[in-house]
Structure 1
Amino acid sequence: MKDLFFMGGALFMSVLSILLIVMLAWMIYHLSKYLISKSSSKEIALRKMEQGRSIGLFALIFGILGQLIGLYGAFSSMAEVTSISPDILYAGLKVSMITTLYGIFIYLIALILWFVGRQLIDKRV
């Protein structure tokens, strides 16, 4: 797991990890605050859950940005070399997809939490 983190690029993977923690804390905090409090508004709670989902979407977009920057660097390096084996090309493409997969994973968690939170908010009425 640690190898994937460093292969994906420490900068992008660190930012994605921070976004994962922020998204989890945001959604859990606001959902528990709504479920515990008697005077909270349903509309505000739903809006806060959607903001948490937006953090997950930002993580997905940031992961795709990491992949595109990695691909740009790889293709720039390949332009300087006359011959490249397909194995090197495939390995580079595999590494470039790590940030995108991590971003998709974060967004999937955000969607699951958003769906579960929405169901709990709707049932509280």
Structure 2
Amino acid sequence: MIDLLFEGGILFMSILTLTLATNIGFFLYLILRKSKAADQMEMIKSIGLFALIFGLLGQFIGLYSALQHISEVESVSAAILAGGIRVSSITSIYGMVIFILSYLMWFGLKAMPKT
């Protein structure tokens, strides 16, 4: 698992991990306060959406860089190309997982009974 963090790019993966930690912390804070304020609950969805978009940005930057290097070399094997696409997809997948977890947290808060 740690290998994926380094393989996906330390900058993007670190920021995505911080968004996940922030979301989990904010979720636990809202549960402990038993708060159901709509604007506070929407923050969880917004952070998840940021993670999704940021993960996609990481993939596009990785693909752009890979394609730039491929155009300079002019000849690349299919295995190297597939490996590059796999590595560039790590940030997108991680962002999507954070997005899904954020929505699950939001649904959980929404389902909590009002006190």
Large movers: runs of 4+ above 6 Å: none
Which residue of 1 is the match for residue 108 of structure 2?
116
Residue 75 of structure 1 aligns with an amino acid whose one-letter code is: L
Task: Give 1:23's aligned residue.
Answer: 23
Unpaired runs of 5+ residues, structure 1, are: 36-41
Q: How much does 1:32 deviate?
A: 2.1
Percent identity, please: 44
Query: What CA deviation, in whole Å up to 9, does each residue of 1:1-52 have, x standing for no partner?
Result: 11111110000000000000011111221232125xxxxxx4xx22211111
TM-score relative to the length of structure 1: 0.87
Q: 2: distance between equivalents of 1:28 and 1:52?
A: 11
- The one-character-per-residue Cα deviations of 1:59-80 (angstroms, maximum 9, x if unpaired) are 1100000000000100000000
2:67 aligned to which of 75, 78, 83: 75
For the residue of structure 2 that corresponds to 1:97, the secondary structure is helix
Matches within 5 A, 1:33-112: 33-34=33-34, 42=36, 45-112=37-104
> 1:82 Cα shift?
2.0
Aligned residues: 115
Which has the larger Rg? 1
